[in-house]
Each structure stands twice: as structure tokens, then as C-alpha cells.
């Protein structure tokens, strides 16, 4: 069971953060298209997750338009609480409350990146696969 990657988009669709842990294959489409899919998905109110035969995509949107997307493998059950935790304990604490971080641009906070990495690695269903 593992987490593959994580995207954070703002309300205009610009990618604020991207992190990957276990990725076998690069996306056949650019970040632009991931963003477009995120906007298409946004139309569906209450959308939580979709899965294919190989991976599961979890989606969480806040009332301010911040979208957090996480790709994991199929063994992971509903990750809505985890994405909510990422938003409230990591994004809000380290980005929103940081006076030097300009919202709407690529997140440049090292503290945020390291904390996010630690958090993902500490998740019960994360296990680094042998490459």
C-alpha cells in the first residue's frame, strides 16, 4: 500500500505544490491537463475519489477553492480525513500563517515541504516500495 503523488492547486488552477513518492511512470499529460481535469471534477459537487484498475485518486476541495489531489494504490480506503488533515495542520499552519508566502504562487516554504514529506511517510498505509 503506498502513496504515489500529491498535487495542490489553488482556486485559479495554478499548481501550488507537487510531491511524489513512488511513481513508476510519468503522466502522459502535462500539469496543465491535470489542472483541467481538476477543474472538470470541481463541477461535480461532493466528489471524493475515483479508481482505475491500478490506482486511486482522492480529491479534497476547501471552501476557498484549494484543491488537494492524492494518487495512491487501491488498498487505501477513504482518504478524505487525511487530506483534510493535510490542509488544516500543514497548509494552514505553514503557508497561510506565513507572512512571507505569497498565496497563489508556487509554495517555496522548505518547512512545508519537509513536514508534508514526513507526514506522508508516517501514514499507516505508506510503505516505500523497492524501485
**Taking CB under 8 A as the rule, does residue 22 contact another protein?**
yes
Distance of closest approach, residue 93 Cβ to another protein, in angstroms? 27
- Using CB atoms within 10 Å of the CB of residue 3, give its burial: 0 to 12 exposed, 13 to 18 middle, 19+ buried: buried
Give Cβ neighbours of residue 23 (< 8 Å, ≥ 6 apart).
4, 5
**Taking CB under 8 A as the rule, does residue 130 contact another protein?**
no
Q: Which residues pair with 96 in a beta bridge?
A: none
* Interatomic CA distance for residues 62 and 116, integer angstroms: 18
**Taking CB under 8 A as the rule, does residue 9 contact another protein?**
no
Q: Which three cell numbers stand for residue 5?
A: 503523488
Distance of closest approach, residue 54 Cβ to another protein, in angstroms? 4
**Taking CB under 8 A as the rule, does residue 18 contact another protein?**
no
Distance of closest approach, residue 50 Cβ to another protein, in angstroms? 4
Q: Which of 28, 75, 99, 124 is in the footprint of another protein by CB under 8 A? A: 28
Q: Among residue numbers 39 through 98, which ones bind another protein (CB under 8 A)?
A: 40-41, 44-55, 57, 71, 73
**Taking CB under 8 A as the rule, does residue 4 contact another protein?**
yes
Buried b (16+ CB within 10 A) or exposed e, 62-98: eeeebbbbbbbbeebeebeebbeebbeebbeebbeee
Binding site for another protein (CB under 8 A): 4-5, 20, 22-25, 27-29, 33-34, 37, 40-41, 44-55, 57, 71, 73
Amino acid at each position: 500500500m503506498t502513496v504515489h503523488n500529491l498535487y495542490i492547486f489553488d482556486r485559479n488552477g495554478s499548481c501550488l505544490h507537487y510531491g511524489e513518492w513512488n511513481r513508476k511512470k510519468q503522466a502522459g499529460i502535462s500539469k496543465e491537463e491535470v489542472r483541467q481535469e481538476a477543474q472538470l471534477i470541481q463541477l461535480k459537487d461532493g466528489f471524493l475519489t475515483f479508481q482505475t484498475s491500478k490506482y486511486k485518486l482522492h480529491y479534497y476541495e476547501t471552501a476557498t477553492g484549494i484543491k488537494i489531489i492524492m494518487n495512491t494504490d487501491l488498498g487505501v480506503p477513504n482518504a478524505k480525513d487525511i487530506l483534510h488533515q493535510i490542509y488544516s495542520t500543514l497548509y494552514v499552519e505553514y503557508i497561510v500563517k506565513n507572512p512571507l508566502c505569497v498565496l497563489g504562487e508556487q509554495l517555496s516554504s522548505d518547512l512545508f515541504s519537509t513536514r508534508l514529506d514526513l507526514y506522508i511517510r508516517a501514514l499507516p498505509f505508506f510503505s516505500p516500495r523497492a524501485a
